[in-house]
Amino acid sequence: MPRNDSPPRVLQILLIDDNPADIELTRQCFLDSRTPNEVHCAMNAEVALAFLKRVGQFAQSPRPDLVLLDLNMPGTDGREILAAIKCDPELLTIPVVILTTSDADTDVDGAYRLRANSYLRKPADLNEFFAMADLVCTYWGHFVVLPPVDVK
């Protein structure tokens, strides 16, 4: 890893998923990462977009460095949320990683066509899930140069 004497910054992650069990599992896997991170959760599009736009109760929330997005949710699904993020000039620079159980070619292709930054299949094995979460945090938290916060 690159040498850096400053304290590591905390990677701000917004997890958008409708399944409480998946949310808790994902939170635990990411919190176990060697890269400091804070996982915020939204269970639907309305809450996710309010958090991202920092309106209402989310006015003081941090701008996420990374969005983890499940595709298959009732109501407004992940594809529609992804499209809304990538069509909004204020949000489109936030990296969106699809984190889903689907490995259907049409889902993978569709996500990238909507400008997802990455597509990950949720590992079925718990140890693999922990390892994947650590790698995601290491990649996005240490190696990727993220856009500056609040640049207009």
Count up the domains in the chain and report the number: 1
What whole-number percentage of the chain has pLDDT above 70? Answer: 93
What whole-number percentage of the chain has pLDDT above 90? Answer: 86
Question: Is 42 within the bounds of a domain?
Answer: yes
Each residue of 47-85: pLDDT tens digit?
Answer: 999 999 999 999 999 999 999 999 999 899 999 999 999
Question: Is 45 within the bounds of a domain?
Answer: yes
User: Residue 116 is part of a domain; what is its CATH number?
Assistant: 3.40.50.2300
Domain that holds residue 61: 11-139
What is the pTM (predicted TM-score) of this model? Answer: 0.92
Question: Is 146 within the bounds of a domain?
Answer: no
The sign of the dihedral angle between the CA atoms of 99, 45, 52, 7 is negative
Q: How far apart are CA 152 and CA 146, in angstroms?
A: 15
Looking up tokens 């499209």, which residue turns up? 83
